[in-house]
Amino acid sequence: MLVTAEQTEFPKKQHQGLKFYQYVIRALLIAIGVTLEAVALEIFLVPNKIIDGGVVGISIMVGHLSGWPIGVFLVVINLPFFIIGYKQMGKTFTITSACGVTLLAFLTTLFTPIPRFTDDLLLAAVFGGIIMGIGVGLVIRNGGSSDGTEILAVLFNQKSPFSVGEIVLFVNIFILGSAGFVFGWNYAMYSLIAYFIAFKMIDITSEGLESSKAVWIISDSHEEIGDALNDRLGRGVTYLNGEGAYTGNNKNVIFTVISRLEEAKVKNIVDSIDKSAFLAISDIHDVKGGRFKKRSIH
């Protein structure tokens, strides 16, 4: 029987979008994040000639050299990146990010007359980096961006052997190094401190403080190990069917998710039951659903 293209068409699934109140909450959190970025820039970093990476860093240096507000350059420099990245990132991301950048430009101009909080360069770098990282993390966590360099990195990544992270790091090192020629090398070194603190705070804010770990265990004593993990940790486990590529033998794989603090206990449990068991543990950034929530242990 010949099957035509018309006969093989399937009805498209209708995907539910976010509800209105969810859009409002996201927009509010992005606005809070952008406000924190503006506070970090205008009250801690810019008055002390400390820059951040990406378009923000370029805007600070160009604004310093030209005497114009950095908000102007935040919009002018970011705009082409968002237009170019429209097809890659989608309409929602592009519009959200463009609104975030516009708000950041407005707030930095609004906060410019506010006197700097401290003259101490180290304090300015540390607290400016912390506040900046929290702000950027909130924006990223809620589906936006206030910097076009990541979009540029995604586009370059398609035609280069480097990852997005490597491209972003290279661009930012170049920008932060340029601060030495504009402001002096002492300020460039403080800028590096602020950048790495902000980088870490972005991870903490966007991914959460509780880092979870995925665990895979291959052992002939899989049931005993699974029961021990269940009883002694209160974690649910899943048994997966596997096959050794070399031997062709069937293998039972234990999969579970634990907290960072339980890693040592898992290793002890596995080692006490089967010293030859294969154990792999990796970081995961988000867990939802299932029985991840730990039950009480008595």
Strand partners of residue 216: 255, 280
Amino acid at 291: R
Q: What pLDDT, in 10s, does the model give residues 125-155? A: 999 999 998 998 888 778 777 777 766 766 6
How far apart (Å, rounded) are the C-alpha atoms in residues 294 and 153? 39
pLDDT value of residue 13:
47
Range name among 7-16, 232-241, 255-264, 274-283 with the lowest pLDDT average: 7-16
How far apart (Å, rounded) are the C-alpha atoms in residues 83 and 93? 11
How far apart (Å, rounded) are the C-alpha atoms in residues 109 and 98? 17
pLDDT of 2 above 50: no
Question: Against a cut of 0.75, is the pTM above it?
Answer: no
Q: What pLDDT, in 10s, does the model give residues 55-114? A: 888 888 988 888 888 888 888 888 887 777 676 666 777 788 888 888 988 999 999 888
Compute the mean pLDDT over every residue in the chain, rounded to the nearest whole number.
80
| pLDDT bucket at 5, cuts 50 / 70 / 90 | very low
User: How far, CA to CA in Å, does 173 sit from each of 89, 178, 195, 284?
Assistant: 25, 8, 10, 27
Amino acid at 11: P
How far apart (Å, rounded) are the C-alpha atoms in residues 185 and 46? 16
Angle, to 10 degrees, between the axis of helix 263-273 and the axis of helix 222-233? Answer: 140
pLDDT of 119 above 80: yes
Q: What pLDDT, in 10s, does the model give residues 25-39? A: 888 998 999 999 999
DSSP codes, 181-237: HHT-HHHHHHHHHHHHHHHHHHHHHHH-S--EEEEEEE-TTHHHHHHHHHHHH----
3-class SS of residue 278: strand
pLDDT value of residue 289:
61
pLDDT of 9 above 60: no
Which helix (H) or strand (E) element contains residue 178?
helix 164-182
Which contacts (CB < 8 Å, 24+ apart) does range 182-189 have?
182/61, 182/64, 182/65, 183/49, 183/51, 183/61, 183/64, 184/49, 186/121, 187/48, 187/49, 187/50, 187/51, 187/121
pLDDT of 185 above 90: no
Report the Cα 48 to chain-centroid distance in Å.
27
pLDDT value of residue 1:
34
Q: What pLDDT, in 10s, does the model give residues 105-115? A: 899 999 988 88
Tokens of 280: 């792999």
| pLDDT bucket at 6, cuts 50 / 70 / 90 | very low
Neighbours of 7 (CB within 10 A): 8
How far apart (Å, rounded) are the C-alpha atoms in residues 180 and 177? 6
pLDDT value of residue 16:
52
pLDDT value of residue 26:
84
| pLDDT bucket at 265, cuts 50 / 70 / 90 | confident
How far apart (Å, rounded) are the C-alpha atoms in residues 167 and 185? 23
pLDDT, mean of residues 200-207: 76
pLDDT value of residue 131:
93
